[in-house]
Amino acid sequence: MTMATTRQKILITGASSGLGEGMAREFAAMGRDLALCARRTDRLEQLATELRSAHPGITVAVRALDVNDHDAVFRVFGELRDELGGIDRVIANAGLGKGQPLGTGSFEANRQTAETNVIGLLAQCEAALEIFHAQDAGHLVVISSVSAVRGMRGNITTYAATKAAAASLAEGIRMQHLRSPIAVTTIMPGYIESEMTAQAGKTPLMTDARSGARALVKAIEREPAKAYVPGWPWTVLAQVMRFAPLSVVRRLS
């Protein structure tokens, strides 16, 4: 675990809703300056106005960003760095959760999820690391999922595979930057209320959005190599899922 100074200037992708919006609210309440990106600029602007009003001492910069526009990722990250006078932490949170069982004629939905969650994430990591290398400091946070622990069935087969790729990508970057001023954290959320989880219907062990956001920020602030969020019960359940027979994992998914 890296014992870091306060990361004052934080960039969050996918910040217009869900986990990204929740983390933005929590960091704003802690007095951090924010760079918020998402496709839906109307929601971003509304959130930024609210946060500036509630916390007048902070700076909130916003930009429209589709992470599948890879050139835009590099451009927008650079613009936000310049506007805030640097970026101390990038939370690569933008992603898709849609998908269908493979072989059901829904390749397009699965393709979009794979491209956004893997190639789009790769662009975010590359752009963040360019900034951190130039600064010789920074904290990259990759939002994966507890579903990355094993292959999953049905509608989340592709999603789970992309989140396993995200975890592997983050670990490789972390290995490259061991004993350097650049820290890398993989966050593995369990079930936290959001637009994405709402699509899945009623799910056991669901954490409400506010509690989930607080747990995410608390974990990120510690800057561990990897953290399951919330820690209970997901740290334990992840180990069960990792080693259990597929018949057991099927019942948990």
Active site residues: 159
Helix and strand numbers (H, E) in the chain are: 10, 7
DSSP state, residue 208: P
Distance, in Å, from the CA atom of 34 to the CA atom of 113, rounded to the nearest integer, reads 26
Sheet bearing 33-38, strands edge to edge: 60-64, 33-38, 9-13, 89-92, 138-143, 182-189, 226-229
Q: At what angle do helices 120-135 and 70-84 cross, to 10 degrees?
A: 30
Q: How far is CA 200 from the centre of its chain?
A: 19
DSSP state, residue 10: E
